């Protein structure tokens, strides 16, 4: 990006001022100013305030990121919330667009989005919590816990890194389910045992992204813990981390929360139509966690600091898996791993029923970008790239 000379002079002066007059940009002492989160509309209690950048730094970067959000809103129909954190502190947090299109209600920062496939990382950690308790081994076959599971060679590790070769459960739900309520996890596990659909490929032989694998993992969590997946995640992740606006939602089994959003689709190029639930929307593990940007910041911060699982186990999550032929796959446990660019990225995207979601971590620069949207947005990669480039461009004047 080219700057005019007077802008460069202003930035240089501001940088000098910050260096000599502002302390606490990179430390974590009590001088850091934080803003208190408003009470949740779900649990009606306050969260611990989150660490934020000094206002002078935030103001410099936020103006540019705000412009990016507005541009994507206008040109790409982005309606969502974004949080950017650097060195463990919130650098930018804002929202643009509508929560309810028919009523013209604007989005708020505590509105709750369906995470879609970003939910998979919570399933992975749930499994790893049980692993650290000695209740399962990663190379255990699924049949250790579900003897009737028809794919005898499939292991928990293969489910975690998408090398299981399992067929998609969506087909079964859409073609074989004939009851009024949609199938829950236990129902689908029984359907898989009854119908014995053909395996896509021999377990462990290659990578193929599988929603079925993560619903099976959530079912294993239920079988081993004796709790529903909803209860397990609530008690072992959401409550300990004060993720008070996060929950597992099962269509037609659970009530909608007050600030829970619907997804939308565009009709005839301009009209936003609400998307309802489907026969696949009571299955958990591969999707159906709802959350906010601030709760997801709590989640990543706690995960990386060892509050949920050990650093050794976390390293397994953030390491590429391998096929039985020792070929690397671009997926760890619940996260995609991209090390082809100059800087490694640990990330996941989600897309379901109008929701588009993304968590991107850049460990080397300690940068985190969380993006949640609900109007069938199609330019997530472009938006996140613009955010990252802008942050890197402006922060280099302060470091």
d(CA 166, CA 152): 11
CA–CA dist 57, 43 (Å, integer): 33
Domain-located, residue 318:
yes
Q: Give the domain extent around 128.
A: 41-100+108-395
Asked whether residue 4 is assigned to any structural domain, the reply reads: no
Residue 394: pLDDT over 90: no
Q: What is the pLDDT of residues 236-274, one digit of tens each?
A: 999 999 999 999 999 999 999 999 999 999 999 889 999
Q: What's the pLDDT at 15?
A: 44
Residue 239 maps to a domain: yes
Query: Quick check: is 187 in a domain?
Result: yes
Tokens linked to 7: 């802008």
Least confident window among 65-69, 117-121, 338-342: 338-342
Confirm whether 334 is domain-assigned: yes
Q: How confident is the model at residue 48 (pLDDT cuts 50, 70, 90)?
A: confident
Buried b or exposed e, range 296-312, using 16+ CB within 10 angstroms:
bbbbbbbbbeeebbeee
Name the region of 370 (left: φ>0; alpha: ψ -120 to 50; beta: rest): beta
Residue 162 has pLDDT above 90, yes or no: yes
What is the number of H-type helices and E-type strands within the chain? 11, 13
Q: What is the pLDDT of residue 399?
A: 57
User: How much is the pTM?
Assistant: 0.87
Catalytic residue among 40, 117, 119, 356: 117
DSSP at 91: E
Rg, the chain, Cα only: 22
Q: List, for residues 300-347, the tens digit of each pLDDT value.
A: 999 999 999 999 999 999 999 999 999 999 999 999 999 988 899 999
Report whether 85 contacts 304 (CB < 8 A).
Answer: no
Establish if 11 belongs to a structural domain: no
Provide the number of structural domains found in the chain: 1
In the annotation, is 40 catalytic? no
* Chain mean pLDDT for the chain: 89
Length of the chain: 399
In a domain, 64, yes or no: yes
- CA neighbor of 356 nearest in space, from 323, 385, 383: 383
């Amino acid at each position: 990006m080219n700057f005019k000379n007077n802008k460069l002079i202003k930035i240089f002066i501001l940088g000098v001022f910050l260096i000599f007059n502002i302390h606490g940009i990179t430390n974590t002492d009590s001088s850091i100013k934080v803003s208190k989160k408003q009470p949740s509309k779900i649990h009606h209690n306050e969260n611990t305030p989150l660490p934020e950048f000094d206002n002078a730094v935030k103001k410099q970067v936020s103006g540019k990121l705000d412009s990016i959000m507005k541009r994507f809103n206008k040109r790409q129909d982005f309606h969502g919330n974004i949080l950017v954190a650097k060195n463990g502190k919130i650098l930018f947090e804002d929202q643009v667009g509508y929560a309810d299109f028919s009523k013209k209600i604007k989005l708020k920062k505590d509105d709750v989005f369906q995470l879609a496939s970003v939910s998979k990382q919570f399933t992975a950690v749930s499994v790893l919590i049980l692993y650290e308790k000695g209740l399962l081994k990663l190379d255990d076959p699924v049949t250790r816990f579900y003897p009737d599971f028809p794919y005898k060679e499939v292991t928990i590790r293969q489910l975690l890194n998408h090398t299981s070769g399992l067929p998609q459960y969506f087909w079964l739900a859409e073609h074989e389910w004939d009851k009024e309520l949609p199938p829950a996890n236990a129902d689908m596990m029984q359907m898989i045992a009854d119908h014995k659909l053909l395996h896509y490929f021999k377990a462990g032989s290659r990578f193929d992204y599988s929603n079925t694998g993560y619903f099976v993992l959530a079912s294993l969590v239920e079988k081993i813990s004796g709790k529903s997946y909803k209860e397990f995640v609530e008690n072992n992740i959401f409550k300990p981390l004060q993720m008070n606006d996060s929950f597992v939602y099962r269509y037609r089994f659970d009530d909608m929360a007050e600030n829970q959003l619907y997804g939308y689709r565009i009709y005839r190029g301009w009209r936003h139509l609400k998307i309802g639930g489907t026969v696949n929307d009571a299955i958990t593990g591969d999707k159906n966690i709802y959350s906010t940007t601030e709760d997801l910041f709590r989640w990543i911060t706690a995960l990386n600091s060892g509050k949920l699982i050990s650093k050794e186990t976390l390293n397994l999550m953030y390491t590429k898996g391998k096929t039985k032929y020792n070929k690397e796959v671009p997926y760890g446990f619940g996260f995609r791993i991209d090390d082809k660019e100059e800087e490694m990225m640990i990330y996941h995207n989600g897309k379901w029923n109008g929701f588009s979601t993304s968590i991107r971590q850049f460990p080397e620069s300690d940068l985190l970008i969380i993006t949640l949207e609900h109007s069938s947005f199609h330019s997530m990669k472009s938006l996140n790239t613009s955010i990252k480039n802008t942050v890197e461009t402006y922060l280099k004047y302060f470091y």
